[in-house]
Amino acid sequence: MNYQKSLKLIQKYSECPNCGNDKVGNGQGTLDINDDTFIRTCKCGCTVKVKGDENKCTY
């Protein structure tokens, strides 16, 4: 995933779309970016997975 795209996603999902938590780390949530996937998890159980152009929040 290129830098520009991951930066946009980080900004877009800096807050959890489910509960609004804006923290990652310290047990609050995780942020994972690899070659083609962006994953943001939250302690509320929401997982945002973006692969290519597919965006979804799963619980």
CB atoms within 10 A of CB 37: 13
48 lies in the binding site for Zn ion (CB under 5 A): no
* Cβ nearer to Zn ion, comparing 6 with 21: 21
50 makes contact with Zn ion (CB under 5 A):
no
Closer Cβ to Zn ion, 7 or 19, answer by number = 19
Q: How far is the CB of 16 from Zn ion (least distance, A)?
A: 3
Interaction with Zn ion in 18-37: which residues (CB under 5 A)?
Answer: 18-19, 21
